[in-house]
Amino acid sequence: MTGPSPYRPRHGTPAAALLVIGDVVTDVVALHRSPLAAHTDTAARIALRPGGAGGNVACWAARRGARVRLLARVGADWAAWHEEALRAARVEPALRVDAEAATAVVIALVDAAAERTLVTDSGAAVRLGPDDWDEALLDGTGHVHLSGYLFFSAPGRELAAVVAKAARARGLALSVDPASAGFLRELGTARFLDAVSGTDLLLPNAAEACLLAGRAEPADAAEELSVHCGATVVVTLGADGALVAAGGRVTARVPGLPRRAVDSTGAGDAFTGALLAARLTGADLPAAVAAGCAAGAEAVTVVGGRPAAGGRWDADGR
pLDDT digits (tens, 9 = 90+) for 215-246: 999 999 999 999 999 999 999 999 999 999 99
Q: Taking every pair of C-alpha atoms in the chain, what is the biggest distance, in angstroms?
A: 56
Quote the distance between the C-alpha of residue 113 and its chain's center: 22
CATH label of the domain that carries residue 223: 3.40.1190.20
Mean pLDDT by 10 residues, the chain (318 residues): 43 72 95 91 93 96 96 97 96 97 94 87 96 97 95 95 96 94 91 93 96 96 95 95 97 92 89 97 95 95 80 39
Domain count, the chain: 1
Residue 143 falls inside a structural domain: yes
The residue count of the chain comes to: 318
Contact between 103 and 79 (Cβ < 8 Å): yes
- pLDDT by residue (tens digit) across 140-159? 999 999 998 999 999 999 99
Domain encompassing residue 206 = 17-24+52-101+124-299
The total of other beta-carbon atoms located within 10 Å of residue 158's CB is: 16
pLDDT score recorded for residue 12 = 42
Contact between 242 and 266 (Cβ < 8 Å): no
C-alpha dihedral (251, 66, 292, 301), degrees to nearest 10 = 180
How many angstroms separate the CA atoms of 318 and 245, rounded? 39
Quote the distance between the C-alpha of residue 36 and its chain's center: 28
Residue 47 falls inside a structural domain: no
- pLDDT by residue (tens digit) across 50-89? 999 999 999 999 999 999 999 999 999 999 999 999 999 9
Residue 281 falls inside a structural domain: yes
Residue 37 falls inside a structural domain: no
Residue 31 falls inside a structural domain: no
Contact between 195 and 157 (Cβ < 8 Å): yes
Residue 82 falls inside a structural domain: yes
Residue 40 falls inside a structural domain: no
Residue 313 falls inside a structural domain: no
How many angstroms separate the CA atoms of 173 and 211, rounded? 25
Task: Indicate the SS3 state at residue 190.
Answer: helix
171: left (phi over 0), alpha (psi -120 to 50) or beta: left
Residue 113 Cα distances to 100, 129, 259, 265, angstroms: 38, 37, 12, 12
Contact between 123 and 102 (Cβ < 8 Å): yes
